[in-house]
Amino acid sequence: MKRFFLEIAYDGTAYHGWQLQPNAIAVQEKLNHALHTFLREEVETIGAGRTDTGVHAKQLYVHFDSANKVLLDNPNRALLSINSLLPYDISVQRIIEVASDAHARFDATERSYEYHIHSTKNPFLINKSWLLRDIPDLQKMNEAAQLMLGTKDFECFSKSNTQVFTNICTIKEARWEQNGDGFVFHITADRFLRNMVRAIVGTLLEIGVKGKPISYMQEVLESKSRSKAGTSVPAHGLYLTRVIYPYIQLNLDFETR
């Protein structure tokens, strides 16, 4: 048996997130089925993390084990074949052989997300970006975002009753930028709690749209209370954009997308 990583991308609109669900369709179910059909063996995939219903991924890594030699002998054919078995809104970008103990979830050292907002009605952005009529104050939100940098307890942005061993995360980047008539929030950390990015964006909009002071962010962080933070923004504006591993080279094709 050999272990492989797949670099995948997907539009999450039609799915109840990445992870298998008992009564709903998830991205993992579609990928497992395609791999089972192509390899003619049972396949269990493990992803770098979960994404919620409606969230998109420009880059997500998963690992699985297989004894099928076609993955090594003809990886290009394997890539084409697996993609032909997947629905149009899921694609495999790369197949990478890795060490037998490599782990898509536990070995990831860094993850990045984007949240997209647009301010004028655009039918081509439905389910891809959140329509916000108000124009936010990017300078205030960027100043508030800087207060999150570093290693901190982010319980205030975590979904309630989640079973995690710690709420400590290290945020390396948190910033807004304008993109035409829209706005994009970029955030990078070693790990994220459930619902964390959407709660952070909602909290920053309390400052940038609703007029709360920049110090509100510090108050939320110190409270460690989800009820003090802003409302979670809709899922369809959120994208997982990058996952970093110490032993996988960056995909230059991905970097230019």
Neighbour-count burial of 257, counting CB atoms closer than 10 A to its CB (0-12 exposed, 13-18 middle, 19+ buried): exposed
Rounded Cα–Cα distance for residues 144 and 128 (Å): 25
Distances (CA, A) of 245 to 27, 50, 114, 189: 22, 17, 19, 13
Task: Supply the DSSP string of 117-178, one letter for each residue.
Answer: EESS--GGGTTTSEE-SS---HHHHHHHHHTT-EEEE-GGGSPTT---S--EEEEEEEEEEE
Which of 11, 52, 134, 137 is the catalytic position?
52
* Residue 115 assigned ligand-binding role: no
End-to-end CA distance of the chain: 33
Give catalytic status of residue 11 as yes or no: no
Cα-flanking dihedrals φ and ψ of residue 130, to 5°? -95, 125
DSSP code of residue 87: -
Rounded Cα–Cα distance for residues 95 and 241 (Å): 18
DSSP H/E element including 115: strand 110-118
Contacts of 251 (CB under 8 A, 6+ apart): 7, 59, 93, 94
Answer yes or no: are the C-beta atoms of 19 and 203 closer than 8 Å.
Answer: no
Residue with tokens 């369709």: 25
Annotated binding site for substrate: 113
Q: Which residues are annotated as a binding site?
A: 113
What amino acid positions are annotated as catalytic residues?
A: 52
